[in-house]
């Protein structure tokens, strides 16, 4: 057991805990903004992707493609998309070629919501005092971490019964 790194099990030394705590803090900070918009955080990230797709439409704007982009399964996405459709922000349409394929688009109201979101998010960032250069560096570091972790375990089962 020579040359083994000194691995601490102290909570404050755990990267996973820092990521978890930071994620919860950011979600809490976004909550007042999202409440004004009538969105939950998961609905917000769905809308972010749909706004991107509205500007640069992928060849297949489907629930499957959305799940891949957000790293979520259709069982998680379906209720979110149903709610966004009830709010008349999103449209879902079954493919004529393959009824298992569901295509997504924004309604006019969903497109307009982006402007309100942009205004509120700008205010949130200004009020928070976050250094945008530090935020960009952190985002780049997290992108690298995600790529590395994804490479380590590309097909981890999510079903507890599969363990």
Q: Which residues of 80-109 are buried (b: 16+ CB within 10 A; e: fewer)?
A: bbebbeeeebbeeeeeeeeeeebebebeee
| Residue 110: per-residue pLDDT | 96
3-state secondary structure of 19: helix
For residue 101, is it within any domain? yes
For residue 72, is it within any domain? yes
| Residue 49: per-residue pLDDT | 96
Mean pLDDT by 10 residues, the chain (163 residues): 76 94 92 93 95 88 94 93 96 89 94 92 82 90 90 53 39
For residue 162, is it within any domain? no
Count of domains in the chain? 1
For residue 139, is it within any domain? no
Domain range for 60: 39-127
| Residue 153: per-residue pLDDT | 62
pTM above 0.75? yes
For residue 24, is it within any domain? no
| Residue 158: per-residue pLDDT | 45
CA 103 from centroid of its chain's CA atoms = 19
Cα separation, 49 vs 66, in Å, equals: 7
For residue 141, is it within any domain? no
Residues making up the chain, counted from first to last: 163
For residue 99, is it within any domain? yes
Q: Kindly report the CATH number assigned to the domain that includes residue 87.
A: 1.10.10.10
For residue 17, is it within any domain? no
Q: What own/partner pairs with CB < 8 Å and gap ≥ 24 does 34-38 have?
A: 36/120, 37/113, 37/116, 37/117, 37/120, 38/87
């Amino acid at each position: 057991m020579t040359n083994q790194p000194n691995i601490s099990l102290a909570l404050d030394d755990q990267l996973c805990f820092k990521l978890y705590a930071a994620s919860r803090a950011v979600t809490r900070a976004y909550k007042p903004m999202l409440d004004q918009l009538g969105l939950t955080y998961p609905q917000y990230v769905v809308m972010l992707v749909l706004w991107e797709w509205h500007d640069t439409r992928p060849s297949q704007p489907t629930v499957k493609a959305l799940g891949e982009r957000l790293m979520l399964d259709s069982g998680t996405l379906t209720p979110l998309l149903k709610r966004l459709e009830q709010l008349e922000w999103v449209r879902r349409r079954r493919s004529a070629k393959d009824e298992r394929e569901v295509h997504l688009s924004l309604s006019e109201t969903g497109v307009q919501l982006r402007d309100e979101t942009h205004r509120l998010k700008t205010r949130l960032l200004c009020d928070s005092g976050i250094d945008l250069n530090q935020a960009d560096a952190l985002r780049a570091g997290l992108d690298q971490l995600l790529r590395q972790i994804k490479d380590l375990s590309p097909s981890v089962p999510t079903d507890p019964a599969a363990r």
